Amino acid sequence: MTVPATDTLPSRPGFRGWLTEPEPKGWTQASAQQFYQGWLRFRAHPLGLVGLAMIVLLILVAIAAPLITSYDPIAQDLSQRLMPPSAEHWLGTDNFGRDVYTRIVYGARTTLHIVVLVTVIVAPIGLLIGTCSGYFGGWVDEVLMRITDIFLSFPGLVLALGFAAALGPGITNAIIAISLTAWPPIARLARAETLSLRQADYIAAVRLQGASSLAIIVRHILPMCVPSVIVRVTLNMAGIILTAAGLGFLGLGAQPPAPEWGSMAATGREFMIDSPWVIAAPGIAIAVVSLAFNLFGDALRDVLDPRGSE
């Protein structure tokens, strides 16, 4: 009385066939198939694709910086200061004669550095705190949520100022400061998800197998919270970039002469009337990258939202 495996699609050859085969033969294939399905859904969002393209471009630009620029981002040449955009200097030069285009490209590295580090710090902390809080409830929940509330109430920029005052300015401290204020919303999101997941029958089933609470949280609840956290973090990236730029603007981020879009915008202020390119280039770069993350995150939400499909 075996119910045979049904297959509804004819098998296709090659890689596509492997990705659409109805009976995956291993965990790698099964996961790759799910990723592929997600990708197909994502593909239907043109703006999301635009955002993704821009992010990919950002990454490529950052990696290939030495290959696509011909100037040294920090070498000064005062004979060339404040030159308008031309064939030799595509985006002109700044007040120290440095090629603006080169500094934008190298600044992409800084931006990515900040964004990745903040995410890597914030997501796991927020997830762990949120899921533990939501699962255990009771006093664990109270304590963790009050701690979260405390951090939530700090305005990012003010905290960064405090950090800079205490530990000195610099990009590492800027990242720490931004991270400290970026994790609470993630924790709250994870907690909210956990509260509803806790009631699910599949969690009850695992409890009935004698699983420990830690095992349940890490192996069963966390994977369900990850998609919405990914979406949230992606959408927050724009804010993180802007905060980092703001810190840079205040002189608390990457220190001169290192190229960083925020500090470039700050120095460009003085020359805004006569040499607008000095501030316009980093300003546009910040806006464009923030937009890219927003578009990508929006489309990602449609794809990953557990309430959506299935």
Partner 1 sequence: MMIGVEKLTVRFAPDAAPAVRGVSFGVEKGEAFGLVGESGCGKSTVLRAIAGLNRHYGGRLTLDGEVLGPIRSKASYRRMQMVFQDPYGSLHPRKTIRSQLMEPLRNQGLPRSSAAVDEALRAVGLDTALSFRFPHQLSGGQRQRVAIARALILRPQVLLLDEPTSALDVSVQAEILNLLSQLRAGHQLTYLLVSHDLAVISYMCSRIAIMQAGEIVELVEVERLRRGEVEHPYSKRLLAASRTYGKERQPV
- The residues of the shown chain that bind partner 1, judged by CB under 8 A, are 1-5, 22-27, 29-30, 34, 200-202, 204-211, 215, 220, 223-224, 306, 310
| Three-class SS state of 238 | helix
CA dist 115 and 118 (Å) reads: 5
Please identify, using beta-carbon distances, which residue of 70 and 309 lies nearer to partner 1.
309
Q: Give min distance, CB of 4 to partner 1, in A.
A: 6
* Smallest distance from partner 1 to CB 71, Å: 49
- Please state, in angstroms and rounded to a whole number, the distance separating the CA atoms of residues 74 and 66: 13
DSSP assignment of 44-71, as one string? T-HHHHHHHHHHHHHHHHHHTHHHH--S
Give the nearer residue to partner 1 in terms of CB position, either 201 or 274: 201
Residue placing its CB nearer to partner 1 in the complex, 150 or 215: 215
Q: How far is the CB of 34 from partner 1 (least distance, A)?
A: 7
- Cβ proximity to partner 1, 2 vs 79, nearer residue: 2
Residue 14 or 26: which CB sits closer to partner 1? 26
Q: Which two tokens stand for residue 239?
A: 């804010």
The minimum distance between CB 183 and partner 1, in angstroms, equals: 24
Closer Cβ to partner 1, 51 or 130, answer by number: 130
Task: Tell me how far apart the alpha carbons of residues 124 and 106 are, in angstroms, rounded to a whole number.
Answer: 28
Q: Which lies closer to partner 1 via its Cβ, residue 3 or residue 87?
A: 3
CA distances from 297 to 48, 51, 92, 163, 226 (A): 7, 8, 33, 30, 14
Which amino acid is present at 282? P
How far is it, in rounded angstroms, from Cα 127 to Cα 229?
A: 8
C-alpha distances out from residue 50 to 20, 95, 231, 289, 291, Å: 26, 34, 17, 11, 10
Which helix (H) or strand (E) covers residue 184, if one does? helix 171-197
Q: Considering beta carbons, is residue 31 or 70 the nearer one to partner 1?
A: 31
Q: How far is the CB of 125 from partner 1 (least distance, A)?
A: 22
Closest approach, Cβ 206 to partner 1, in A, equals: 6
Q: Tell me, what amino acid is at 19?
A: L
Residue 184 preceded by cis peptide, ω within 30: no
178 close to 156: Cβ distance less than 8 angstroms: yes
